[in-house]
Amino acid sequence: MIERVQGFYGFTRTLFGRNLAPSMLHRHGAHAEAAARIVWCINNRALGVITGEVGAGKTFALRAAVASLDPARHTVIYLPNPAVGMRGLYDLIVTSLGGTPRFHSASLTAQATEALAAEVDERGRTPVIVIDESHLLGHHELDAIRMLTNCEMDSNTPFAVLLIGQPTLRKKMKLGVLAALDQRIGLRYQMPAMTKQETDSYIKHHLTIAGRSDPLFSDDAVDLIHATSRGLPRSFNNLAWQSLVAAFTEEKSMVDESSTRAGIAESVATD
């Protein structure tokens, strides 16, 4: 089905494909702002918290920021999902920095701290610890992150920490025992959704990448997709794709408002 839709509309690449090079990302306000702030956080070896709703573009903004770093001067330690717990995080830190994790937790924690310091002192590289989906971190784990940052955060921090997650993360960090971690946050940013003007340019951008530079969605179709997706990129992609499939089944050369209504009804029905 995907191939037939692609062929019918003359795409040379998958529409909304996820393997976009950093230079192919769309630079709407929230994306550019989040990427710039992540870079600031790294340059200042600070603790940063970037939040946004599901599919707001958090991981893509992180990718853009990381791609702009000098690889000779940074070591990015990326944890895609914190379900591995603190042990998993310390293991990852040690192995990413070339060590073999020690068995006992207490000595593993010390090993991770030492490895982070050595990366700066001996190799002149800033470690950047990124924990994606951080809203899944429990209190215990957030407190362990406080301990990790505790060592030298108050004087000269040897590394940057980025917690990326859904908006509940912000609320969680305000709670009692975590106030100490909350006070250490050097940067926080909540990614807003795209504006109507931004979604207009976002869809054009994705269509151009897929090989279509002429309009394929009518203005009222884009208006409706924008309103229904609330300007969130992943939701926008899904609804636009379903609208395109609806137009395809009627062999329409453009996606109009009625195809979009059908596409949205289909998305709601399958959700």
Ligand X SMILES: Nc1ncnc2c1ncn2[C@@H]1O[C@H](COP(=O)(O)OP(=O)(O)OP(=O)(O)O)[C@@H](O)[C@H]1O
Interface with ligand X (CB under 6 A): 16, 18, 25-26, 31, 52, 54-60, 166, 233-234, 237
**Binding at 57: pick from Mg ion, ligand X, none (beta carbon under 5-8 Å per type):** ligand X
**Binding at 234: pick from ligand X, Mg ion, none (beta carbon under 5-8 Å per type):** ligand X
In contact, 58 and 179? CB cutoff 8 Å? no
Q: How far is the CB of 131 from ligand X (least distance, A)?
A: 12
At 116, which helix (H) or strand (E)?
A: helix 105-121
Using alpha carbons only, what angle is made at residue 82 by residues 131 and 146, rounded to the nearest 5 degrees?
A: 60
Near Mg ion by CB under 5 A, which window of 56-64, 65-73, 110-118, 222-230? 56-64
Q: How far is the CB of 23 from Mg ion (least distance, A)?
A: 20
Sheet with 160-165: strands ordered across: 74-79, 126-131, 160-165, 47-51, 185-190
User: In the chain, where does DSSP find H-type helix?
Assistant: 2-8, 29-43, 58-67, 85-96, 105-121, 139-153, 168-174, 179-182, 196-209, 219-229, 233-249, 257-270
Among 6, 51, 59, 134, binds Mg ion (CB under 5 A): 59
Q: Is 229 in the site for Mg ion (CB under 5 A)?
A: no
Q: Is 51 in the site for Mg ion (CB under 5 A)?
A: no
Near Mg ion by CB under 5 A, which window of 30-38, 57-65, 79-87, 121-129? 57-65
